Amino acid sequence: MTRPAIYVEGAALEISFADGRRNLQELIFDTVRAAVDDSGQPMHEIDSVVLAAHDLVDGRSLSSMVTSPAAGAYLRDEIRYGDDGAGALAAAVTRLEAGHARRSIVAAWGRSSEHSPDQFSRSLFEPFRSRPLGLDEFVLSAMRAQLCLSAGDGAGPARERASLRRIDSARANPRALRGGGFRSAPHFPLDDADLPLWADVTAAVVLSTEPSPIRVAGVGQSSEPYNFGDRDLRTITSLKTAAGRAAADAGFGADTADVAEVDGLTLIDEALGLEAIGFAAPGTGLRTLAGDGRANPSGGGASGYSPPSMGLVRVVESVLQLRGTAGSVQQRSVRRAVATGGSVVAGQTQTVVLLEAV
Amino acid sequence: MTELVSIPGHWDFDYTYFAGEAASRFFAELRNTRVMGATCPDCRRVLVPARSFCDACFQRTTDWVEVGPEGTLETFTIITAAFPGLPEPPIVMAYVTLDGADTALVNLVLGLDLSDIGAAAAGLQRQPRVRVQYGPEPQGRITDFAFVLA
Amino acid sequence: MSEPVAVLGVGQTTYKRRHPESSAADLIWAAAEEALADAGLGIDAVDVIIAGVAPDALAGENCVEKTAIFGTGKPFLRVNTGGVTGSSTAFAGASYVASGRARAALVVSLERMGQASTSQRVFNTIFDPVYEKDFPLTTITMAALRASMLMRVYGYSERDWAEIAARNYRHALRNPLAHLHLEVTPEDVLDSPLLAWPIHRLEACPMSEGACALVLGGRDLAAGRNAAWIQGMASTSDSYAMGDRIRRPEGSLVDLLSLQRSAVRAYADAGVSDPRKEFGVVELYSPFSSAEAMTYPALGFCAPLDGPRFIQEQQEDPSLPVFNPSGGPQAANPVSATAMVRIAECALQVRGLAGDRQVADVRRAVATGQGGATQFSTVCVLGTQTP
Ligand SMILES: [Zn+2]
């Protein structure tokens, strides 16, 4: 069965922190309105809204009840995933391919200034075996980092250079957080600069079945077991599988992309992510982040971070690269881009999106 | 038979909710005993309480106007059972469309005789006129006022 | 345009206040295993798993379903749309199948609220923290605000609410999965304590725990299997602001415009023109009697002002569809799962597998979902004919 092609018509994102002038709904409205304006489509041409938001991040026990109208859901077909934004985008793609909608808003957000990311992270652990130990999602990242650094995978100088380059990219990225934000306390062997900069993040795109310059060439998704002990910590298996599925879908792989925007909770996770999708060879993720401008030109988690929006932020950054409008982080002649988004618990579910300029 | 384990838990998270400029202005006006609505330039509705965008038109609102202080009670409930964490009954809660507004806002109705719930309900079903009554010390919160029969 | 989608398997746990003998993962697995067995498929045949869990706070665990990801490396997503979580989850799975990206989808919804000591306190925190959360708004008071408006505008009485509830309890007596098995007369409902005028305790839904799963597939898998086809499905969201809808000309707070719009689309796809005659079974997401009454005109069963009379007609006119043969949400309301349970019940009825509560010769059935501030509405038409 041939599926109809899906295009990105509009995109917008904003990263801010504790902007008291706007409540959560107003932050969402501003970004979704901007994405719709960017698409050039009137609201009546949009028949679907697909959201990614989390109740505990939003501090509203049924977030979309209050927030979905701010994302354009009024008298439209709307669904909310309590999952990463790239996952929501993948689901929106199926809606359009199935003919269940013609044009869809996809929006995701998280407002770190309103909640405590550490409390959120700890609550992800079930109360019997893991929560009493005080685990959070960084524990898995730290254990991964330990394995990867002790194996000498670009450890030492590469890690330092990758870290510095990430900060430089974030400084250069006009969409990165300017002032404010905060970081969690790092677990050994992670340090401050490896951690995400918690921020208020909203991202939105408009997808359509009508041709426009950016095409969603391939989408792949996968998952891993809940228990860390059941996972292979040397790599991100679910991301690898998802990348394979996206490549099969697109007819080209992430290794041929001109830009990779990879979501990871920490610098090391971003490096492992680049390896998992095949943009960097095994063991070279940190070196790639350190030396290859096409790997996370946005500055990744250093530009501002909040689940569950990051996969969609990566998609928007990729779209801007493909359009040549990414500003001072723009890479040269970008025809293909790959974006990834991982979701709780500790990257347990992963989505890979391959985009192409047509 | 294995003894089934259960562990006590407490679900408690800290949040700081930003009201935003529009709601902050609405609350500031409440302290001046004014209830404000915001007008949608597309559908021309006066939305109360005031907000920065109209979700139906997906458009930013523009002019602010004062509404009330009197209005019409649209619908109500009389809460008669106690629920953990919520105020003690009986409580009357109602949606009221203030004069000049196109939308209703929710608040408590005070000062009613609730000795006979059925009779009180029958009275409220006749959609009485009500007015906004402010508490002694406005905090700039939605609870600064309640409704009383006009 | 797209691959037709059928329900090929249904799995459900019982619904009750608590399942202390099962972990969250056990409940999900029990429902999933039964659905796969019913479909005659193994987990390997499944290309995507979608889980639905409404407010995490009700379980007191964040992303509780993530402990139950099984079938190594499957695409997995979680849906949360409040009351419509169950149907949204099913629709999401249907899109994967209809797009051709999945041959079979496993959709499962879990309610773990047995771990909550109180639900109404949690339900207060679903409201807007700036303008509304300071008031005792809960799912019960929200329903009461509508019930009193329905009485004023369309002439319903407290007696009408009691009759609807009593009928739902009566039907639940024949459903072994239901949470409440009570012999209740309308008088009993009216005599039960008043929670929030006009809602009495026996009119409100219980807090139930349990899981429901469906296996969805396309034409190739449906061949040779007992399939219930999804002939039409639609979802519509409305404004959160209840006050904005009170005087809305297109449809007021008690007119369920979102359900009406969903019904129009789903009926059009299914080719339904006379819902009174074309459905054998109607399964409504109606945790309160007033919520059920609001659906009658929205689904095209009667004019709004004829609602009270339609309650009587259901008892007198055997040509009308059977409403809530399962007993509906008043007899079991596992919030996250409830809207999927409606689809599951319709699928069982269409497939002739509904046991003691089987309605004769059901060729077509309709299931609704309702959530948020009476804001999210889904309609799903299932039938024996491939669309
Ligand atoms: Zn408007």
Could you report the per-residue pLDDT of A54-65, keeping only the tens digit for each? 999 999 889 999
Greatest Cα-to-Cα distance within chain A, rounded to the nearest angstrom: 56
**Domain range for C23:** 5-118
Sketch out chain A's domains with CATH numbers.
6-115+199-208 (3.40.47.10)
Q: What is the DSSP letter of C175?
A: -
Higher pLDDT, A1 or B80: B80
Q: How far is A230 from chain C (nearest CA, A)?
A: 11
Instruction: Determine contact: B23 vs chain A, CB below 8 A.
Output: yes
**A147-166 average pLDDT score:** 83
Specify if C192 maps to a domain.
no
What is the tally of structural domains in chain C? 1
Please say if the pLDDT value at position C360 is more than 70. Answer: yes
- Provide, rounded to the nearest whole percent, the portion of chain B with pLDDT above 70: 100
Closest residue in B to C22 (Cα–Cα)? B4
DSSP state of A182: B
Q: Cα(C196)–Cα(B92) distance, rounded to whole angstroms?
A: 9
Inside any domain, residue C274: no
The rounded distance, in Å, linking the Cα atoms of B18 and C124 is: 18
Between chains, do C148 and B93 touch, taking CB under 8 Å as contact?
Answer: no
* Backbone region of residue A346 per phi and psi (left: phi > 0; alpha: psi in -120 to 50; beta: other values): left
A336 phi/psi in degrees, rounded to 5: -130, 145
The candidate with the shortest Cα–Cα distance to B133, out of B144, B142, B124, B141, is B144
Task: Return the number of CB contacts < 8 Å for A and B.
Answer: 68
Q: Which residues of B touch A75 (CB under 8 A)?
A: 56
Q: What is the pLDDT of residue C313?
A: 97
**Does the beta carbon of B20 lie under 8 angstroms from any beta carbon of chain A?**
yes
Cross-strand partners of C196? B79, C199
Q: Which residue has the higher pLDDT, C182 or B8?
A: C182
Name the helix (H) or strand (E) containing B36: strand B35-39
> Residue A48, Cα to own-chain centre: how many angstroms?
21
Which CATH number does the domain housing residue C34 bear?
3.40.47.10
Tell me the longest C-alpha to C-alpha distance in chain C.
Answer: 56
For A319-344, b where at least 16 C-beta lie within 10 A, e where not — what string?
Answer: bbbbeeebeebebeebebbbbbbbbb
Find out whether A167 and A302 touch, Cβ atoms under 8 Å: yes
Closest CA to B27 of B15, B36, B38: B36
**CA distance to C173, C190, C318, C321, C327, per residue, from C312 (Å):** 21, 18, 12, 13, 18
Average model confidence (pLDDT) for chain A?
Answer: 95
Cβ proximity of C346 and C365 under 8 Å:
yes
Q: Which residues contact A348 (CB under 8 A, 6 or more apart)?
A: A223, A224, A225, A226, A238, A342, C66, C69, C76
In this structure, how many other beta carbons lie within 10 angstroms of the beta carbon of residue C60? 18
Report which DSSP code applies to C304. G
Kindly give, in sequence order, each residue whose CB lies less than 8 Å from that of residue C118, ignoring residues fewer than 6 positions away: B83, B84, B85
B118 to chain C, minimum CA–CA distance in Å? 8
**What stretches of A152-265 adopt beta strand conformation (E)?**
200-208, 214-223, 259-261
Domain-located, residue C15: yes
Neighbours of ion ligand 1 (CB under 5 A): B 40, 42-43, 54, 56-57
- Indicate the domain borders of chain B: 20-149
Closest chain C residue to B5, measured at CA: C20
C82-to-C85, C259, C378 alpha-carbon distances in Å: 5, 15, 12
8 Å CB contact of A79 and C126: no
Rounded alpha-carbon distances, angstroms, from residue C37 to C10, C12, C31, C138, C230: 9, 12, 10, 39, 20
Distance C261 CA to ligand 1 centre (A): 20
Cα dist from A260 to A172, A264, A266, A279, C151, whole Å: 17, 12, 16, 7, 59
Neighbouring residues of A185: CB distance < 8 A, sequence distance ≥ 6: none
Classify each residue of B118-141 as buried b or exposed e, where b means 16 or more C-beta atoms within 10 Å of its C-beta: eebbeebbebbebbbbeeeebeee
> Within a domain: residue C360?
no
Of B13, B20, B55, the CB nearest to A23: B20
Taking 70 as the threshold, does the pLDDT of residue C1 lie above it? no
Chain A closest-CA separation from residue C232 CA (Å): 10
Residue A111's H or E segment, with its range, is strand A103-111
Q: Is A32 helix (H, G, I), strand (E, B) or coil?
A: helix
Residue C185: pLDDT above 90? yes
Condensed to tens digits (0 to 9), the pLDDT of residues C242-261 reads 999 999 999 999 999 999 99
The alpha carbons of chain C give a radius of gyration, in whole angstroms, of 19
Percent of chain C with pLDDT over 90: 86
* DSSP-assigned beta bridge partners for residue B104: none
Tell me the shortest Cα–Cα distance from B150 to chain C, in angstroms.
20
**Residue C221 in domain:** no
Chain C from 12 to 41: CB within 8 A of any B CB: 20-21
Alpha helices in chain C (DSSP H): 24-39, 56-59, 85-98, 120-124, 139-154, 158-172, 186-191, 219-222, 242-245, 257-270, 275-278, 289-298, 307-316, 335-351
**Cα–Cα distance, C342 to C299 (Å, whole number):** 15
pLDDT at A154 over 80: no
Residue closest to C181 by CA, chosen among C191, C165, C169: C169
Chain B residues with CB under 8 Å of A116 CB are 13-14
Q: Sign of the CA dihedral A185, A190, A192, A194? A: negative
What was the pLDDT predicted at A153? 57
B148: enclosing H helix or E strand: strand B145-149
Distance A206 CA to ligand 1 centre (A): 22
Residue window 57-76, chain B: list those with CB within 8 Å of chain C: 74-76
Please report whether residue C259 resides in a domain: no
**A194 three-state secondary structure:** helix
Gap between the Cα atoms of C22 and C45, Å rounded: 26
Contact: C195, B79; criterion CB under 8 Å = yes
Task: Match 């988004």 to its residue by tokens.
Answer: A341
Is C80's CB within 8 Å of A226's CB? no
Nearest to A55 among C57, C61, C68 (CB): C57
Chain B interface includes C250 (CB < 8 A):
no
CA distance readout (Å), C221 to C97, C224, C232, C364 = 11, 8, 19, 21
Widest distance between CA atoms in chain B: 70
Per residue in A275-323, pLDDT (tens digit) is: 999 999 999 999 999 999 999 999 999 999 999 999 999 999 999 999 9
- Check B53 against A26: CB less than 8 A apart: yes
Average pLDDT, rounded, for chain C: 95
Using one digit for the tens of pLDDT, what is the confidence trace for C11-69? 999 999 999 999 999 999 999 999 999 999 999 999 999 999 988 888 888 888 888 88
pLDDT tens string B14-69 = 899 999 999 999 999 999 999 999 999 999 999 999 999 999 999 999 999 999 99
Chains that touch B (3 or more CB pairs under 8 A): A, C
**Substitution target from A65, A97, A137, A221 for chain C, most C beta carbons within 10 A:** A65
Q: Is the separation of the CB atoms in C11 and C36 below 8 Å? A: yes
Q: Name the residue of chain A whose CA is nearest to C99's CA.
A: A98
Angstroms from B40 CA to nearest CA on chain A: 15
Rounded to the nearest angstrom, the minimum Cα separation between B141 and chain C is 8
Q: B interface mutation test: which of C151, C244, C254, C258 has the most B CBs within 10 A?
A: C244
How far is it, in rounded angstroms, from Cα C284 to Cα C346? 10
Contact: C20, B93; criterion CB under 8 Å? no
The kind and range of the H/E element at B130 are strand B129-134
Instruction: Give per-residue burial for C170-186: e unless 16+ CB within 10 Å, then b.
Output: bbbbbbebbbbebebeb
Taking residues C263-274, report their average pLDDT: 98
Exposure class string for C93-102: b at 16+ Cβ within 10 A, else e: bbbbbbbbbb
- Which residue pairs from C362-365 have beta carbons closer than 8 angstroms and sit at least 24 positions apart in sequence? C362/C280, C362/C281, C363/C280, C364/C231, C364/C270, C364/C272, C364/C278, C364/C279, C364/C280, C365/C279, C365/C280, C365/C281, C365/C282, C365/C283, C365/C321
Contact indicator for A232, C72 with CB cutoff of 8 Å: no
Q: Which of A55, A83, A220 has the CB atom closest to C55's CB atom?
A: A55
Task: Tell me: pLDDT of A232 over 70.
Answer: yes
Q: What percent of chain C has pLDDT over 70?
A: 100
Per-residue pLDDT band for A231 (boundaries 50, 70, 90) equals confident
Token output for C162:
């009691």
Which chains contact A through at least 3 pairs of Cβ atoms less than 8 Å apart? B, C
Q: Do C74 and A127 touch (CB under 8 A)?
A: no
CB contact under 8 A, C253 and B75: yes
Write out chain B residues lying below 8 Å of A73, CB-based: 55
Residue A155 has what pLDDT?
A: 62
Q: For A220-229, C161-170, C271-280, C360-369, which range has the lowest pLDDT when averaged over its residues?
A: A220-229
